[in-house]
Amino acid sequence: MRILVVGGGTGGTIVANNLARRLAPEIRARKARITLLSASDQHMYQPGLLYVAFGQMMPDELYRDEASLLETGIKFHVDPVEKFELDQNRVRTKSGEVYDYDILVIATGSRTMSREVPGLQEGAETFYTEKGAVKMFKSLRNFQGGKVAIVVGVPHKCPIAPVEVTFALHDYFKMRGIRDKVEIKYHYPINRIHSIENVAIWAKPEFERMGIKYETLFNVDEVDVENKVVKSMEGSEYKFDMLVSIPEHHGMEVIEKNKLGQNGWIPTDRYQLTMDGHDNVYVVGDTTNLPVSKTGSAAHFEAEVIAENIASIVKIGTPVTEYDGKVYCFIEAGRDKATYAMFDYLNPPNLRAANKPMHWFKMSYNKMYWTTVRGLL
Amino acid sequence: MSETKIIDACNTYCPGPLMELITYMKQADVGDTLELLSTDSGTANDVPEWVNKIGHEMGSSEKVGDIWHIKVRKAK
Q: Which of A62, A63, A11, A61 is nearest to A42 (CA)?
A: A63
Residue A38 has pLDDT above 90, yes or no: yes
Identify which of A155, A235, A345 has the shortest CB distance to residue B12: A345
> Is the distance from CB of A255 to CB of A292 less than 8 angstroms?
no
Closest residue to B54, CB basis, from A154, A234, A325: A234
User: Which residue, among B24, B70, B42, has the nearest Cα to A291 in the 3D structure?
Assistant: B24
Q: What is the pLDDT of residues A301-312, one digit of tens each?
A: 999 999 999 999
The answer to whether the beta carbons of residues A282 and A310 sit under 8 Å apart is yes
Q: Nearest CB to B19: which of A154, A234, A263?
A: A154
Residue B48 contacts A where some CB pair is shorter than 8 Å: no
Expressed as residue numbers, the domain containing B45 is 5-73
- The model's confidence at residue B2, banded by pLDDT at 50, 70 and 90, is low
Reply yes or no on whether B10 is catalytic.
no
Which residues partner with A77 through β-bridges? Answer: A37
CATH number for A113-249: choose from 3.90.105.10, 3.30.465.10, 3.40.640.10, 3.50.50.60. Answer: 3.50.50.60
Q: Which of A193, A183, A139, A189 is nearest to A163 (CA)?
A: A193
Whether residue A139 is predicted with pLDDT greater than 60 in this model: the reply is yes
B9 touches chain A (CB under 8 A): yes
Over residues A348-358, mean pLDDT: 92
Catalytic residue among B13, B14, B45, B65: B14
Cα distance between residue A254 and residue A275, in whole Å? 16
Q: Is B66 on the interface with A (CB under 8 A)?
A: no
CB A128 within 8 A of CB A250: no
Number of domains into which chain B is organized: 1
CATH (domain of B12): 3.30.110.40
Mean pLDDT for chain A overall: 97
> Right CATH number for A2-109+252-327 from 3.40.920.10, 3.40.630.30, 3.40.50.850, 3.50.50.60?
3.50.50.60
Say which range, A86-95, A164-173, A278-287, B37-46, has the weakest mean pLDDT: B37-46
Q: How far apart are CA B47 and CA A49, in angstroms?
A: 33
| Option in A159, A219, A262 nearest B27 (CB) | A262
Complex prediction ipTM: 0.94
Tens-place pLDDT, residues A80-135: 999 999 999 999 999 999 999 999 999 999 999 999 999 999 999 999 999 999 99
- Residue type, position A60, single letter: D
The answer to whether B30 faces chain A, any CB pair under 8 Å, is: no
List phi, psi (to 5°) of A305. Answer: -65, -45
Closest Cα in chain A, distance from residue B22 (Å): 7
> Cβ of B42 and A197 within 8 Å?
yes
d(C-alpha A219, C-alpha A204), whole Å: 19
In angstroms, the separation between the Cα of residue B74 and the nearest Cα of chain A is 13
Where in chain A are all domains bearing CATH 3.50.50.60?
Answer: 2-109+252-327, 113-249
CB count, 10 Å around CB of A138?
A: 12
B46 to A262: CB separation less than 8 angstroms, yes or no: no
Categorize the per-residue pLDDT at A350 as very low, low, confident or very high, splitting at 50, 70 and 90. confident
Return the residue in B13, B34, B76 with the most chain A beta carbons within 10 A, the one to mutate for interface testing. B13
Dump pLDDT digits (tens) for A175-219: 999 999 999 999 999 999 999 999 999 999 999 999 999 999 999
Percent of chain A with pLDDT over 90: 97
Find how far residue B19's CA is from the centre of its chain: 9
Chain B contact present for A291, CB below 8 A: yes
